[in-house]
Amino acid sequence: MSLHFGNLLWPGTYAEPVHYPILDSHKKTRVVIIGGGMSGTLCGYTLAKSGIDTILIEQNTVGSGSTSANTGILQYSNDKMLSDFANSIGEQKAVMFYKACRQAAEHIHIIAEGMSRNVDFKRRSSLYYASTPTDVPTLRQEYEMLHRNGFDADWWEEDQIAMNFPFRKAAAIVTRGDGEINPFLFAQALTEEGHQSGLEVYEKTAMLSVRPSAGGYTVSTSGGEIATEHVIYAVGYVPEQTGRQWAAQINRSYSIVTEPMPSLSDWHERFLLWETSRPYLYLRTTTDNRIIVGGLDENIRQPVLSQQELHAHSLRLLSELHHLFPAITPEIRYEWCATFGESKDGLPWLGEDPIHPGIHYCLAYGGNGTIYSMLAAEIFRDHLLGKFNPIASIVRPDREIVH
């Protein structure tokens, strides 16, 4: 089953990516990562930089799964607000988790800024606005919790929003410390730099089975077999590949990208825009002056399969954009529909299987999957280096799901 349908923006920005061989012999290593998307490549890069022997296998090509459909927003705030997490897991753990996400965002920024390849990374602030006036009290509560816990956030009233944007909303939170990136280029660059640090990468190499064997596991692939101590499943929105059941909600989401705009002068500091409604609308700009709009999530796993149905949704996204920015008349250049996964408690599943030591899951489900992938990479690295990671217990795969 395909993970996306339509005309994607990112793959065309790197027309001739580096390709890696097909595995055709038997190998031995300490870690095998299954999946070469954002999750697998961030893990591979991080482990290789820490000197841990790792092989990454990808059944297609690096970044060709959901990573190509990702809209590239790097936001530490989650789909689930800090105050909602405080209600479900307690304020202390919720704040710890949000702070870990903020730190993971900063770690991605540092990696992206230090890369030899340009990955279209920019530091940005976010405007999280009340979709309707009735959302203002909840939004205010969120702001107060962020502010009280030391997050760099401001409260904007209606007039301040209207002074900086061509639209009026009853209130908004402005957060700093976010960013935007080209996720396809980033996954490619992570793989290239990981490879230079010793990461072995095999494309067109599918995991067929994982079975226990002396000293760990044997991963059988469409090429050779790999003997390993640890396996990391970074298989994206096909959780069945792990051989386990997950309380995942697999949906589909829509995105459009405009032609480059002559001017974006009434878009204050190119803020990342999103809102309190669920599902939410979100917008960003690109370094070549395009606008990306995403949203309209539907509770259906399979992406649409007809251009007509896709375009009907694209026109709805365009009309939302026009509603916010009436003076601009953009044309749609790219449009797609993609599978998108969430967990029922808003947390990703990252960490070791409690029954099968050495088997690890990297299911970075949620709107800020890239941030969750960074958390995962650091949790796995710390585990393999024998270091304590304070977030590991919050996102562990066998946690009780509290809504």
Q: How far is the CB of 92 from ligand FAD (least distance, A)?
A: 25
Q: 65, 194, 295, 346: which one contacts ligand FAD (CB under 6 A)?
A: 65
Candidates 20-28, 191-199, 361-369, 384-392 — which segment interacts with ligand FAD by CB under 6 A?
361-369
Q: Assign 3-state DSSP to the chain and report helix, strand, coil percentages, each to 5.
A: 30, 30, 40
Distance (Å) of CA 25 to CA 1, 36, 40, 52, 345: 28, 19, 22, 21, 42
Candidates 9-17, 158-166, 228-236, 242-250 — which segment interacts with ligand FAD by CB under 6 A?
228-236
**368-397: which residues touch ligand FAD (CB under 6 A)?**
368-371
Comparing C-alpha atoms, which of 196, 376, 180 is closest to residue 287?
Answer: 180
Q: 2, 60, 196, 393: which one contacts ligand FAD (CB under 6 A)?
A: 60
Question: From the CB of residue 118, how many other CB atoms can be counted at a distance below 10 Å?
Answer: 11
**184-213: which residues touch ligand FAD (CB under 6 A)?**
206-207
The number of C-alpha atoms within 13 Å of 118 and in the hemisphere containing its C-beta is 5
Q: Binding of ligand FAD at residue 73 (CB under 6 A)?
A: yes
Q: 6, 177, 223, 236: which one contacts ligand FAD (CB under 6 A)?
A: 236
What is the DSSP secondary-structure string of 189-208? HHHHHHHHTT-EEESS--EE
* Total residues binding ligand FAD (CB under 6 A): 39
Locate 282 and state its tokens: 């979100």
CB-based burial label for 175 (10 Å; 0-12, 13-18, 19+): buried
Q: 54, 64, 242, 276: which one contacts ligand FAD (CB under 6 A)?
A: 64
Locate 295 and state its tokens: 């949203």
Binding letters toward ligand FAD, positions 30-59, x by CB under 6 A: ----xxxxxxx----------------xxx
**322-341: which residues touch ligand FAD (CB under 6 A)?**
338, 340
- Under the rule (CB under 6 A), what is the footprint of ligand FAD? 3, 34-40, 57-60, 64-67, 69-73, 206-207, 234-236, 238, 241, 253, 255, 294, 338, 340, 364, 367-371
